[in-house]
Amino acid sequence: MLINSDLHIHSCFAMASSKDMVINNIAPQAKLKGLQLVGTGDGFHQGWLDIIEESTTYSGDGIYSKEDCNFVITAEVEGKGKIHHLFIIPNIEIAREMSNSLDSKNKDTDGRCRVKMEGGEIRDLAREYGCLYGPAHAFTPWTGMYKSIDSIYDCYGELPDFLELGLSADTNMADTVKELKDIPFLTNSDAHSPWPHRLGREFNQIEMNDLSFSSLEEAIKKKNIKTNYGLVADLGKYHMTACTKCHKLIDPLIAKDNKMKCPCGGKIKKGVDYRISEISDYDIPKHPEHRPPYVHLMPLAEIISMVYEKGATTKTVQSKWQILTDNLGDEINILINTPIEEIAKVDSITAPAIESFRNKTLKIILGGGGKYGQILLGETQEDSAIKKEKRVTLDNF
């Protein structure tokens, strides 16, 4: 069975996360999105585990169900060097045991706990309790593993069970790094709110025998991920090297020469694009046989927002989104499978934008420095002048 899964989100207990991130909100929104399996996030927070138990029915083998949505226990921790790691945990009981074993000052106050653990200790903890583990948003410049470590072996001493790409990278970028050829990639939302333009904005389509932790574990270890769906990496807010204050894109070499300081007084942050170029082994990606296609998507509300020039949470956009899902089913099905002519019958303005995603007729304004990129319709990525200038400075010192 093919399962749409988003395995990295956060609860209401995580810093900067919405108070609406509770099971009773996440479950119905996941159904509208088209997700069948969602990671709970924050699995080492005892209060969040209490809410999960109170709000769901235990279906067995690590699965907790609510309103046609199934949850598996997951947790993100911040280890030494401010590197983030993701655990997929067999069940709540094991999550509680692991939480009790952690030496963390903030585990009772923040859903993402901080621990003084190196990657090897993270590995050992996961193996001791039968968890799956890997680096969270591995390439992001603030908390990704590769921000300061050149090899995944230097972090864990072995290949982890998976690597999460993060919003500013995709398979084409990651498969220029030779050491990753045997690792399955995950694409997850890292959502801090339950609404469909956040939840499931990146997700995985996985072939599973049934809905269970054991089946998920087998699928990941056997690399049965059939498709990764995610944002156009160029749109990621840390994709290009840029100033975190004025957000202008800066040539990385010039940035280094100027000690990562922008003339405006802001701090320049190295982009994922350039960081991967520093550690890559190939100029063009070499995809292993097991690597599934990576399909670029954008949340439906964001597409509607773009074409109607209204905010994603405005009444205009939300009402258009509601009409589309009421008439055509869940969001993922609309974005991927529903014939364009059927979408046009419901919303003739949004339909061409969805078609542009499918045909890759998009013009990208690159993101960086903490600012998301933008999409303009009507020009192919390959022909876009901005796309061609991907590694060229857009600002002179």
DSSP calls for 6-36: E--B--TTSTT--TT-SHHHHHHHHHHHT-S
pLDDT at 98: 98
- Mean pLDDT per block of 10 residues along the chain (397 residues) reads 98 96 98 97 98 98 96 98 98 98 95 97 98 97 95 98 96 98 98 95 98 98 98 92 95 94 95 96 97 95 93 95 97 97 97 91 89 75 42 43
Which H or E element spans position 88?
strand 84-89
- Rounded to 5 degrees, φ, ψ at 57 are -110, 130
What span, in angstroms and rounded, lies between the C-alpha atoms of 304 and 324?
10
Give the Å distances, CA to CA, from 283 to 50, 169, 278: 49, 16, 11
Q: What structural domains does the chain harbor?
A: 2-232 (3.20.20.140), 298-359 (no CATH)
What span, in angstroms and rounded, lies between the C-alpha atoms of 247 and 370?
7
What span, in angstroms and rounded, lies between the C-alpha atoms of 231 and 201?
7
The two beta strands, 203-207 and 163-164, are: unpaired
What span, in angstroms and rounded, lies between the C-alpha atoms of 81 and 155?
11
Give residue 231's identity as a one-letter amino acid code.
Answer: L
DSSP assigned state of 199: T
pLDDT at 321: 97
To 10 degrees, what angle do helices 92-101 and 46-55 make? 170
**First and final C-alpha spacing in the chain:** 54
- Rounded to 5 degrees, φ, ψ at 11 are -100, 180
What span, in angstroms and rounded, lies between the C-alpha atoms of 286 and 16?
37
Q: What is the CA radius of gyration of the chain?
A: 20
pLDDT at 388: 36
- Rounded to 5 degrees, φ, ψ at 14 are -85, 145
DSSP assigned state of 55: H
- Rounded to 5 degrees, φ, ψ at 9 are -135, -175
Q: Give the pair of three-digit tokens for residue 299.
A: 């949340």
Give the Å distances, CA to CA, from 388 to 284, 326, 373, 397: 15, 40, 15, 21
Q: Give the pair of three-digit tokens for residue 65.
A: 């169900």
Task: Say if residues 212 and 277 touch (Cβ distance below 8 Å).
Answer: no
The answer to whether the pTM exceeds 0.75 is yes
To 10 degrees, what angle do helices 315-328 and 300-308 make? 130
pLDDT at 360: 83
List beta partners, residue 375.
Answer: 364
Task: Say if residues 78 and 143 touch (Cβ distance below 8 Å).
Answer: yes
